[in-house]
Amino acid sequence: MKATITHIKADIGSLPGHTTVYGPVVEAVRKYVKEKGESLLSDFHISYVGDDIQITMVHNKGVDCPEIHELAWNAFKSGTDLARKVGLYGAGQDLLKDSFSGNIKGMGPGIAEMEITPRKSEPFIVYMMDKTEPGAFNYPIFKMFADPYNTPGLVIDSNMHDGFIFEIWDIVEAKRIFLSAPEHMYDILGMIGSKGRYVIKRVHTKPNHEKLPDENVAVITTDKLSFIAGEYVGKDDPAGIVRIQSGLPASGEAMEAFSHPYLVSGWMRGSFNGPLMPVAMKDAKMTRFDGPPRVVGLGFVLKDGKLAGPVDMFDDPAFDGARRTAVKVVDYLRRMGPFEPHRVPEEDMEYTTLPRVLEKYKGQFEAVPDIQKKKKEVKLSTKDVD
């Protein structure tokens, strides 16, 4: 029998700024899901990272189920009531619409869900990031499912040897493409290296996979708040579900992908590049320059609709080195202040408050006689680049 894992997250208020969630609000969300979800869910788990509350749910109603989405929406609503009462910062900030309308997509909260055929043992890890964007998952997901230096299973496990299919979304054009690795590996990288535009939405097994033919094995939230609201209203902090073991990356291969604190965009005011630091949930408090961006990983096993776990996966001294490197990178980058590439490129500042600040100079620029205006259109080069 199929099972559905639905993960929905939202920032509904934090303290003192965007640092962390408030315990009683997390409890209010938990209480709502427990009481109202009793007949809908077979199990659930509430967690948090930084200022985001995370609801992981298991049920058998398939993806895009209105009742499940509404349950999460109303749970966040009930948490928001308390957040407003105690004056939390940004109370209800990710709930962009007034009332629920059938599907939580496009309403503010981030959602990742997959319908699966559970194996005898169904282990998976939920990764949750704060102070960054959906494209922050491109690097580790590629490493897990396509890089043999990270995942030796791609070389030595016959079940993984044929590789995987990547579903990549162009979130600017609202289009998607399915590309197969290793065959189209370089094209995949050509796209997902532009993490602000191309994001890995899902990973699928190939039809000839011995244990899991045609299955969705990883899914990531891709909700871009600024595209929904038309302006910067908070960070699009993503979460992802990754199934592991038996023909998929081993637990350690999935974790290894985070051992290098690679640079992501987000951090302070959603406007700065910084290292993604893997931490235990207890350390997911964003205090230094509202960061640095962090990732928490919770490991579960699913059986007959029930969850065992979670294990707080980065709560391990083996990741101390990655954390130390991250702090060194923070020290280095912070000295750049408002300069790029610490600050994100100008086109990404479009949704921030900077255009408003510079508005007053709009009519004051005068033409410079010696330079020509650069045309916006770019022609594809047919020449080789040395």
According to the binding rule CB under 5 A, does residue 52 interact with Mg ion?
yes
Distance, in Å, from the CA atom of 303 to the CA atom of 308, rounded to the nearest integer, reads: 8
Whether 232 is catalytic is yes
Answer yes or no: are the C-beta atoms of 98 and 64 closer than 8 Å.
Answer: no
Which residues, numbered 223-242, are part of the site for Mg ion (CB under 5 A)? 237
Catalytic residue among 32, 139, 198, 232: 232
At closest approach, how far in Å is the CB of 273 from Mg ion?
Answer: 17
Distance, in Å, from the CA atom of 343 to the CA atom of 336, rounded to the nearest integer, reads: 8
The single residue among 4, 33, 51, 291 that binds Mg ion, judged by CB under 5 A, is 51
| 40 or 96: CB nearest Mg ion | 96
Stretch of residues binding Mg ion (CB under 5 A), selected from 34-42, 130-138, 211-219, 340-348: 130-138
| 234 or 261: CB nearest Mg ion | 234
At closest approach, how far in Å is the CB of 249 from Mg ion?
Answer: 26
Residue type, 179: L
292: number of Cβ within 10 Å? 30
Question: For 154, which DSSP code?
Answer: H
Q: What SS3 class is residue 23?
A: helix
Distance, in Å, from the CA atom of 49 to the CA atom of 115, rounded to the nearest integer, reads: 25
| Alpha carbon separation from 345 to 17, 103, 238, 340, 348 (Å, rounded) | 25, 33, 21, 6, 6
Q: What SS3 class is residue 254?
A: helix
According to the binding rule CB under 5 A, does residue 130 interact with Mg ion?
yes
Stretch of residues binding Mg ion (CB under 5 A), selected from 43-51, 101-109, 147-155, 324-332: 43-51
Catalytic residue among 11, 223, 290, 312: 11
At closest approach, how far in Å is the CB of 131 from Mg ion?
Answer: 6
- Write out the DSSP string of 309-361: EEEETT-SGGGHHHHHHHHHHHHHHHTTTT-TTTBPPGGGGGGSSHHHHHGGG
| 61 or 84: CB nearest Mg ion | 84
Stretch of residues binding Mg ion (CB under 5 A), selected from 10-18, 222-230, 240-248, 249-257: 10-18
| 89 or 100: CB nearest Mg ion | 89
| 52 or 147: CB nearest Mg ion | 52
Residue positions annotated with a catalytic role: 11, 232, 235
**Interface with Mg ion by CB under 5 A: which residues?**
11, 50-52, 130, 237
